[in-house]
């Protein structure tokens, strides 16, 4: 018999609430979704437990296609052997689901961005931080500029890296031929966003200026 834990019991309690308030009250919506999905937006967000895109954007089931990973990063297009999870999800969203927008959403107090900034996990073995180190090396190119302007300590430096990560992921999105082609044809739009955990305010990137402006 599987031993129950307080943590899992907490999840089961949430499931029961979902059945009462999420499933039964939205039964017609779930019936619409049982044969397929047609989300118009893909959101690439961080795995951080504090930044759930569905909660932040207050959307119904089936409205957004979400991929979450450490630091909300998008790797550049590459065809080397390996398991390309983000690339596979992007391909499915753009080519099969035909989403109209891809939103990269970074956030404040991001542990992955802080580790990339400070190199705190450098030299660690896989299982002890090495997997994270390899992943956040995607930020190495923007790190030099951030460090030159802000150093490696303090909230200003951390936020600069968090915002730079969003810009870098958008640049990497454009290395995918099917993304750049659809963007050029007006069939796909790329957006950057930043959610500040400290005050709950969402900021959206203006690519023309490179600045993030709060949503009012």
DSSP type of residue 34: T
| pLDDT of 25 | 86
33 touches 97 (CB < 8 A): no
> Any alpha helices (H) in 49-176, and if so which ranges?
53-56, 85-91, 111-118, 130-136, 140-150, 155-173
Could you tell me if 13 and 85 lie in one domain?
no
What are the pLDDT digits (tens) for 89-117? 999 999 999 999 999 999 999 999 999 99
Dist CA 54 CA 64 (whole Å): 8
Could you tell me if 82 and 20 lie in one domain?
no
Could you tell me if 32 and 111 lie in one domain?
no
DSSP type of residue 18: I
Dist CA 86 CA 97 (whole Å): 15
Task: Give the residues of the chain that fall short of pLDDT 70.
Answer: 1-2
Helix (H, G, I), strand (E, B) or coil at 209: coil
Could you tell me if 44 and 79 lie in one domain?
yes
What are the pLDDT digits (tens) for 40-52? 999 999 999 999 9
Could you tell me if 78 and 89 lie in one domain?
yes
Could you tell me if 44 and 20 lie in one domain?
no
The distance in angstroms from the start CA to the end CA of the chain is 52
Q: Apex CA 165: angle with CA 159 and CA 167, to 5°?
A: 110
Could you tell me if 79 and 3 lie in one domain?
no
| pLDDT of 1 | 54
Q: Domains in the chain: how many in total? A: 2
| Residue 152 lies in domain | 37-214
| CATH code: domain of residue 152 | 3.40.1050.10
Could you tell me if 170 and 136 lie in one domain?
yes
Could you tell me if 92 and 181 lie in one domain?
yes
Could you tell me if 27 and 43 lie in one domain?
no
70 touches 49 (CB < 8 A): no
Could you tell me if 87 and 161 lie in one domain?
yes
| pLDDT of 3 | 73
190 touches 174 (CB < 8 A): yes
Could you tell me if 51 and 24 lie in one domain?
no
193: burial class by Cβ within 10 Å (0-12, 13-18, 19+)?
Answer: buried
């Amino acid at each position: 018999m599987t031993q129950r834990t307080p943590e899992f019991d907490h999840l089961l309690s949430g499931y029961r609430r979902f059945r009462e308030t999420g499933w039964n009250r939205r039964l017609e919506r779930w019936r619409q979704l049982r044969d397929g999905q047609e989300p118009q937006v893909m959101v690439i967000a961080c795995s951080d437990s504090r930044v759930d895109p569905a909660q932040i954007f207050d959307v119904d089931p089936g409205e957004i296609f979400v991929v979450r990973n450490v630091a909300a990063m998008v790797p550049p297009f590459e065809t080397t052997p390996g398991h390309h999870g983000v690339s596979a999800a992007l391909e499915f969203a753009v080519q099969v689901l035909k989403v109209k927008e891809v939103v990269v959403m970074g956030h404040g107090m991001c542990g992955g961005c802080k580790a990339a900034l400070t190199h705190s996990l450098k030299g660690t073995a896989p299982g002890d931080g090495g997997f994270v180190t390899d992943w956040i090396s995607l930020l190495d190119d923007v790190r030099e500029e951030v460090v030159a302007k802000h150093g490696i300590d303090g909230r200003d430096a951390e936020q600069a890296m968090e915002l730079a990560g969003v810009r870098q992921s958008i640049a990497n999105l454009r290395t995918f031929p099917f993304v750049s082609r659809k963007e050029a044809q007006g069939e796909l739009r790329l957006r950057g966003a930043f959610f500040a955990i400290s005050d709950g305010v969402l900021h959206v990137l203006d690519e023309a200026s490179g600045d993030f402006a709060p949503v009012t």
